Amino acid sequence: MADFITLAKINDIPDGKMKEFRLAGKVITVAGIDGEYLAFDGICTHEHCSLAGGFLDGFTLTCYCHGAQFDVTSGQVLGPPATEGLKTYETKVEGDELKIKL
């Protein structure tokens, strides 16, 4: 069973913003939304653009390259041209640290 590992300080991820991390050979983006920290694969499944440069509206992420949309809570595709969803990762806060389970 995978353990949680420290990813960042929660102050590094402002509310309403996203930040990209590289961890264990993966690109992971974390969105800070209303005190929640949602982690998901950081590369768009359509044309492999970085999602950290996208636009966040509530829980909807729009990729800046071609407009694919994803639900950051589930990774589900909400709008084309992407057809494959994003892997999401469990997170938790301990003190001032954000931890993630890969």
The model's pLDDT over 48-91, given as tens digits with 9 standing for 90+, comes to 999 999 999 999 999 999 999 999 999 999 999 999 999 999 99
Contact 59, 71 (CB under 8 A): yes
* pTM listed for this prediction: 0.94
Sheet of 26-33, strand order: 4-9, 97-101, 88-94, 36-41, 26-33, 18-23
Number of neighbours of residue 34 by Cβ within 10 angstroms: 8
Q: Which CATH code, of 3.90.1150.200, 2.102.10.10, 3.30.300.30, 2.40.110.10, is assigned to 4-101? A: 2.102.10.10
- 3-state secondary structure at position 83: coil
Q: Which residues pair with 90 in a beta bridge?
A: 101
89 C-beta neighbours (distance < 10 Å), count = 20
